[in-house]
Amino acid sequence: MNPPPDPVAAATLASEPDPVTQESLRHPEANGILTVDLDALTANWRLLASKSVPAECAAVVKADAYGCGIEPVTRALSSAGCKTFFVATLDEARVVRKAAPTAVIYVLDGFFSHTGRIFVELECRPVIGDIGELAEWDAFCRHRGVNHGAALHVDTGMNRLGLSIAEAQALIPRIEQGNHGINLVMSHLACAELLDHPLNPRQASTFREVARHFSGVTASLSNSSGIFLGPSYLFDMVRPGAALYGVNPTPEADSPMKPVVDVKARIVQVRPVERGETVGYGATWTARRQTKLAILAAGYADGYFRAAGGVDGVRSAEVIIGGKRCPIAGRISMDLMAVDVTDLPKPPRRGDLATLVGDGITVDALSQHFGTIGYEVLTALGSRYARVYKGGPG
């Protein structure tokens, strides 16, 4: 339950209509605020769905919907018209089932012994990627007298999960006999974000040859980036994930997706640093002038990677304070980071909020400083932020 309104804060709010100030006052106890724009999320899904016609556009909501919150994200996408969801685990399937009672749910990590009862109770389907796993699933279904349905994952070049091509072809007689219990045959592109990678057409061709033998079974190959490779990659269903949450599915071009996530951290101190003094662990950053630092209450425990810290002679990541970009000074700590605010025309105050993601700083741009990809930026966002959801179903 939220604390009762603070009359002093309310008076301040009335006199300072700045949205950052209002946001701060609504969450006075929070060191940081993570805002998820559900309207942007559903707009992204609709865009991807429009590019996928006539294929069905599902949604991947694993890993807590890429760090954005699996329950509110599922509710928003379900209200927007999404009918099929992919998760990694049964725990995630349980949340999706509650949020979307009529949805079709596939569990990507597949079937483990003694979990069949849960699949039936939740009315979700395992994604089978191994012949032994399929045999166990079949045995469970026979024992329970159910034809519950499952997906088959066929490996076409990722070499991660999936039946071999030969194993998939060996199942063709089963498919031809009918009543086979397979609802979906799928594979996964390894290099979809690279438009001209030769593995893309090779995987599509291999999968097409397999899928044509699975008559009447929904076929799915493309992830977010695969949707942009062209009609020959769409098949019957596409499975976007990261693009829903604002990650650029076309890194070789400008992103067509709306940003979904905004992250702000509170300033805990503003302090002067003399010229020649160093900042942070390892003394990696040296003040070249009389400097003013803002210390923010966010660090690598909150998903802001240590690799983005300031090092002498190297361009660091930036945050936005007072509408201006300010560079990080020194290494990122577990709970804190230092930012050079010397050039700001108006110095920030303790308690103000600085933008880590948003206002032009995208998860893709930040991933370059982190030495990773936008997917990891999103899923690494810590649990200490206050979560705020904008828009979505009423």
Positions marked catalytic: 62, 281
Instruction: Give the burial string for 245-262 (b: 16+ CB within 10 Å, else e).
Output: bbbbbbeeeebebebbbb
Dist CA 98 CA 41 (whole Å):
20
β-bridge mates for residue 273, sequence order: 291
Nearest of 193, 181, 103 to residue 140 by alpha carbon: 181
And the tokens for 91? 């725990």
Integer CA distances (angstroms), 106 to 62, 100, 122, 132, 320, in order: 11, 13, 11, 19, 40
User: Is the distance from CB of 29 to CB of 244 less than 8 angstroms?
Assistant: no
- CA-based Rg of the chain, rounded to a whole angstrom? 24
Taking the C-alpha atoms of residue 351 and residue 24, their distance in angstroms, rounded to an integer, is 8
Contact 45, 57 (CB under 8 A): yes
Rounded to 10°, the helix 19-26/7-15 angle is 170
